[in-house]
Structure 1
């Protein structure tokens, strides 16, 4: 059941159907951004307001889930937000569902970097691939 709610959400976003999108959220919905606490908010009306602005700013936005795990009332998904004219966003969203509505989400989303930037860990090259770093 959790995956079907998430599928309805993604379908509504990709169709830019604000009413269908808002229908997937419970009135007492809580959005948490652990790495960016100032982005956190409560309430389904805030979801509608935010997505109305997103649709206006990114009329070509399209979302896919590139990997996921579902257990009981939670969906853990790796999301890719394609935003034509802006940086893509990628990351993980943990979604909790109760009574066929989304009641909570925890976002770990970031903009995809353009170009090469220094790796934040000393001694690790940004251009190093996994097999190189795994073998020393």
Structure 2
């Protein structure tokens, strides 16, 4: 499948496991909206850098795969599967969808973030 350039750039940046390279995929004034958990919403590339620094520290062998993607007007839809080994026994996978827009330079400028940790031991809700 041909994925959008911004998604491929982010996937390849994650493969470097360098938080600065990952953060460089985002605009300085990047906005993330987390509809399922609004307290996780934030603004700024500096927060992307802090978040990815923590993710890499916790899961130093993280890999990222783009499962599906689609472009709808200004929106880029991507489905992700990120996995790695964790030392603290916490979730070892992050899966879900991110819907984003890019700026004129192709940097991710805004996203609606629906990725969540996989909880293999959660009770069945329905």
TM range (shorter): 0.7 to 0.9
Whose Rg is larger? 1
CA offset digits 1:27-64 (Å, max 9, x no partner): 11001100100001000111111111111111011111
Asked whether the 8 Å contact 2:4–2:69 carries over to 1, the reply is no
Q: Which runs of 5+ in 2 are unaligned?
A: none
Residue from 111, 114, 118 that aligns with 2:120: 114
Residue from 69, 87, 91 that aligns with 2:92: 87
TM-score (norm 2): 0.85
Asked whether the 8 Å contact 2:13–2:22 carries over to 1, the reply is yes
TM-score (norm 1): 0.79
Asked whether the 8 Å contact 1:66–1:79 carries over to 2, the reply is yes
Structure possessing the higher relative contact order (Cα contacts under 8 Å, 6 or more residues apart)? 2
Question: What does residue 65 of structure 1 align with?
Answer: 66
Off by >3 Å, runs of 4+ in structure 1: none
Residue from 92, 96, 100 that aligns with 2:101: 96
Asked whether the 8 Å contact 2:26–2:45 carries over to 1, the reply is yes
Q: Helix, strand or coil for the counterpart of 1:68?
A: strand
**Between Structure 1 and Structure 2, how many residues are aligned?**
119
